[in-house]
Amino acid sequence: MEFIDLKAQQDRIRPQIDAAIKRVLDHGQYIMGPEVGQLEQMLAEFVGVKQVIGCSSGTDALLLPLMAYGVGPGDAIFTTPFTFFATCEMIALTGAIPVFVDIDPDTYNIDPIKLDAAILRVICEGKLNARGVIPVDLYGLPADYDAIMAIAEKYGLFVIEDAAQAFGATYKGRKAPGLAHVGATSFFPAKPLGCYGDGGAVFTDDDEMAEKIRSLLIHGKGLDKYDNVRIGLNARLDTIQAAILIEKLKIYEAEIEMRQQIANRYTQRLVAKGDASGFSIVSPFVPGGYDSVWAQYTIRSKRREALKCQLHQAGIPSMIYYMKPMHLLKANNYLGYMNGDFPISEDSAKTVLSLPLYPYMPKSVQDQIIDNITQC
């Protein structure tokens, strides 16, 4: 059994993928070929934003807007400690300080009430310049952007949406990553919309921001790549990856629906069993007005290790996202956080467990997973 079966999707569209790659091989424009611009336009239309800039990874999709905002030493960027390292890593790479804010216990996303308090504390201390917020749409579910954007406006901060796991998720009728001043996503193969290598994109309605990011994308270019007007990166999206994503985006709406059906079936069957499994399973929570794209279907159990072992013995893979919150990683020791500083994130790291979920999962495979959880 696979945790994510990428081959099942590939089998569905293999002729289209082969033809798309052949077109790139035929025209030979491997860097910034026409497929990159075509994909950017399709992504903009899908999400409902004016500007999309394809780039080399979801990590660079976070770094590019931070650079465009001129973030640097002395700046404070507020984010969640319960995510993948890249989010706080890119903040640190600019020389700014990641300031962590604990999460909501139901959604696993940054808690707006605690965010407001953290910003006010930094402003009152006067040691750092509060500049921006990077919420993370964890497991495919958007954060509470109405609340976050209102807080950011109150303090004059920018917001960068980290939607690496949530491309196409909806929040009150709007799509991620179009919910903040700037959005970022990843096309890593295991993501809901993934390519066959590394890739990412930046989303914004701000034309000036988009112009800066397009410059930063190619060594800070001005009129051309030899007219360098700022320090930038080499962060272009490969043409072949763009060509693959064009074909995969065409079926993405249908795949989101498949993901939601599988997630709903997990929830209905696990909730129906209640605590009968003996593992006290807590299913994911999706607030009204939200739709997750279910990058991961993540349950919670105080007996996680026993449950994970039970599944492993039955040949069922599971994953822990994430085993250690960001404030407790060795790389972040310099920030001075301690165990107990963010109790909800710390408790989540000890109890969460993600189950296999992908659009083409057969019901028989899902039944096997559910039965092994509920019958043990």
3 state DSSP class of 134: strand
- 361 domain residue, yes or no: yes
Q: Does residue 263 sit in the same domain as residue 245?
A: no
Q: Does residue 244 sit in the same domain as residue 282?
A: no
Q: Does residue 136 sit in the same domain as residue 204?
A: yes
pLDDT at 273: 55
Of 249, 271, 295, which closes a domain? 249
- Flag whether pLDDT at 187 surpasses 70: yes
- Flag whether pLDDT at 271 surpasses 90: no
Contact 213, 68 (CB under 8 A): yes
Based on the structure, what is the number of domains in the chain? 2
Q: Does residue 291 sit in the same domain as residue 336?
A: yes
Q: Does residue 97 sit in the same domain as residue 178?
A: yes
Q: Does residue 18 sit in the same domain as residue 147?
A: yes
CB atoms within 10 A of CB 7: 11
Q: What is the DSSP letter of 70?
A: T
Of 201, 223, 249, which closes a domain? 249
- 1 domain residue, yes or no: no
Q: How far apart are CA 352 and CA 363, in angstroms?
A: 23
pLDDT at 18: 98
Q: Does residue 212 sit in the same domain as residue 338?
A: no
pLDDT at 64: 98
Confidence band for 278, pLDDT divided at 50, 70 and 90: low
Q: Which of 62, 78, 23 is nearest to 235 (CA)?
A: 62
Q: Does residue 162 sit in the same domain as residue 296?
A: no
* CATH number of the structural domain spanning residue 166: 3.40.640.10
Of 222, 249, 276, which closes a domain? 249
- Flag whether pLDDT at 49 surpasses 90: yes
- Flag whether pLDDT at 280 surpasses 90: no
- 291 domain residue, yes or no: yes
What average pLDDT does this structure show over 145-155? 98
Q: Which residue range(s) make up the domain with 281?
A: 252-374
Q: In whole angstroms, how far apart are CA 83 and each of 87, 181, 255, 346?
A: 7, 20, 24, 12
Q: Does residue 301 sit in the same domain as residue 264?
A: yes
Q: How far apart are CA 68 and CA 126, in angstroms?
A: 24
- 188 domain residue, yes or no: yes
Q: Does residue 33 sit in the same domain as residue 108?
A: yes
Radius of gyration for the alpha carbons in the chain, expressed in angstroms and rounded: 21
- 164 domain residue, yes or no: yes
Q: Does residue 289 sit in the same domain as residue 177?
A: no
- Tell me the per-residue pLDDT of 54-95, one tens digit each, with 9 for 90 and over: 999 999 999 999 999 999 999 999 999 999 999 999 999 999
- Tell me the per-residue pLDDT of 323-370, one tens digit each, with 9 for 90 and over: 999 999 999 999 999 999 999 999 999 999 999 999 999 999 999 999
pLDDT at 224: 87
- Mean pLDDT for the chain? 96
Least confident of 35-44, 196-205, 280-289: 280-289
pLDDT at 282: 85
- Flag whether pLDDT at 231 surpasses 90: yes
Confidence band for 375, pLDDT divided at 50, 70 and 90: confident
CB atoms within 10 A of CB 205: 15
Q: How far apart are CA 43 and CA 47, in angstroms?
A: 6
* CATH number of the structural domain spanning residue 326: 3.90.1150.10
Tokens of residue 219, six digits? 């060594």
pLDDT at 54: 98
Q: Does residue 313 sit in the same domain as residue 238?
A: no
Name beta bridge partners: 234: 218
Predicted TM-score of the model (pTM): 0.96
pLDDT > 70 in the chain, percent: 98
Tokens of residue 147, six digits? 């609340």
Q: How far apart are CA 366 and CA 314, in angstroms?
A: 13
